[in-house]
Structure 1
Amino acid sequence: MTTTRAGGRHGFSWRATGPVVLVLLALAGFGLIGASLPDSPTARPPQPPALANSPVGAAATSPEAAQPAPSGLPRSVPSQIVIPKIGVHSSIMKIGTNPDGTVEVPPLDQAQLAGWYEPGASPGEIGNAVLVGHVDSAELGPAVFFSLGDLRPGDTVGVLREDGEQVDFTVESVQSYPKTDFPTELVYGPTDQVALRVVTCGGIFDEAAGDYPDNIVVFATQAQAK
């Protein structure tokens, strides 16, 4: 399934189902993508390094499985995301599901905003909080998560909440998956950790298909108190 939006771009498309609202990727993927960006290396979003000992799409073990279970915070709406490594300081909007069960995304004219999947956990709660964002758009060029693939384990992602709390997360893993092999359980499934998933498009833009072939997923867990 593919959702076509203003400007001739293709958006995200999943169908939410099941008691924990697992979201299935349906060959459309994250990010507003197109051929309008200059054909130069600087216009191509960075990709995470290939994992020599882990096949792309393998999702047998959650990155945070070995950590002790924290207590978590009460639910609160996230308002901003800050990723110092890649210069992101963006507002967050709520997203949910469309009437057909696919996941909403920020509109094209707000490609610099991240979207929080409201049916899931809020950042700071126990569970997987999911933030999605565009990689680029025809009108704006590089979007909020254009450089997401530059993140590496140990980097920090901060989320500010409407209750005044700031929750810092430590990146555990940055991986690229074919859209046909999206790790639904690891991104949207249950966990006893305070966890964050940040997702956008990845791979080399396919001119013929008019789409990126992959998704970049950042797996992070709440930073340990110092």
Structure 2
Amino acid sequence: MTGKASRSPWPGTVAAGGALVLGAWLLAGGGTSGPPAPDGTQGMDHAATAGLLVPPRAHAVPTRIRIPALRVDAPVSALGLDGGGRLEPPAEHDRNLAGWYRDGVTPGQRGTAIMAGHVDLADGPAVFYGLGTLRKGDQVEVDGADRGTGYFTVDGVESFAKKDFPDARVYGRAADSQLRLITCGGGFTAAHGWDANVVVFAHLVRSVS
């Protein structure tokens, strides 16, 4: 992604504006230590995934995402950019709703597809709350409007401070079919919202039409 699309998701005003409401569950005592965070063993190993090319999927707008290890099975909405060039968050009316950056590639196409979801809403954990617990080798399944499905393997899970978000590493172009799942994480304050993002790195391993 380049230009405006290369900016970190939910930094600055977007993160703070949304998290003032979304973190109400945490501040009210619904959570004590925040969402689970990835540990040092979950980092991305680029050498282990080099050369793992499989035929890409054709363009197919994502309609559903499943993450069996987290028991996630959620519909997908399209996300754009706000006036500051930052990725808009999914709507807040449904905790079981993920989003896809509609101006990027679709999951399974050659390149890097971006999907995002809330970590929590005002009344409890949301669709991507458990991303930090995923392990290398876990599976992500994304259905498309073409009625096909792309199957992705998790290569790593990492947490990045919003102020130091590595745009090029997360959003950079890829020769194969890459997928990124992004949510908020780290610490939360009413004044600034969540201070980090949890990112899942995954690549396409097969597809079914």
What is the TM-score with the length of structure 2 in the denominator? 0.84
Task: Note if 1:141 corresponds to 2:124.
Answer: yes
Asked if the contact 1:93/1:113 (under 8 Å) is kept, the reply is yes
Counterpart Cα distance in 2 of 1:124 and 1:63: 21
Distance change >3 Å, CA 85–CA 189, structure 1 → 2? same
2:143 corresponds to which of 122, 139, 160 = 160
Counterpart Cα distance in 2 of 1:218 and 1:150: 10
2:34 corresponds to which of 44, 58, 63 = 44
Equivalent position amino acid for 2:116 in 1: V
SS of the residue corresponding to residue 36 of structure 1 reads helix
What is the TM-score with the length of structure 1 in the denominator? 0.78
Asked if the contact 2:150/2:206 (under 8 Å) is kept, the reply is no
Equivalent position amino acid for 1:97 in 2: L
Asked if the contact 1:128/1:195 (under 8 Å) is kept, the reply is yes
2:24 corresponds to which of 35, 47, 54 = 35
The residue that corresponds to 1:218 in the other structure is 200
Number of residue pairs aligned between Structure 1 and Structure 2:
201
The residue that corresponds to 2:57 in the other structure is 73
The residue that corresponds to 2:85 in the other structure is 101
Asked if the contact 1:64/1:193 (under 8 Å) is kept, the reply is no
Matched-pair identity in % = 37
The residue that corresponds to 2:94 in the other structure is 110
Hey, which of these two has a bigger chunk of helix by percent?
2
1:199 corresponds to which of 172, 182, 196 = 182
Please give the residue correspondences for 1:182-193 in structure 2 after superposition, counting only pairs within 5 Å: 182-193=165-176
Q: Give the gaps of 5 or more residues in structure 1.
A: 1-15
Counterpart Cα distance in 1 of 2:89 and 2:170: 16
Q: State which drifts further: 38-47 or 192-201.
A: 38-47
Give the CA deviation at 1:66.
1.1
Counterpart Cα distance in 2 of 1:222 and 1:187: 16
Give the CA deviation at 1:171.
0.4
Please give the residue correspondences for 1:114-129 in structure 2 after superposition, counting only pairs within 5 Å: 114-129=98-113
Please give the residue correspondences for 1:74-89 in structure 2 after superposition, counting only pairs within 5 Å: 74-89=58-73
Q: State which drifts further: 142-151 or 37-46.
A: 37-46
**Cα shift readout 1:154-208 (whole Å, capped 9, x = no counterpart):** 111110111011111100000001011112112222101111000001113234x
Distance change >3 Å, CA 40–CA 114, structure 1 → 2? closer
Asked if the contact 1:149/1:216 (under 8 Å) is kept, the reply is yes
Q: Give the gaps of 5 or more residues in structure 2.
A: none
Asked if the contact 2:141/2:152 (under 8 Å) is kept, the reply is yes
Counterpart Cα distance in 2 of 1:175 and 1:87: 20
Counterpart Cα distance in 2 of 1:64 and 1:22: 26
**Cα shift readout 1:69-95 (whole Å, capped 9, x = no counterpart):** 333111010000000111100000001
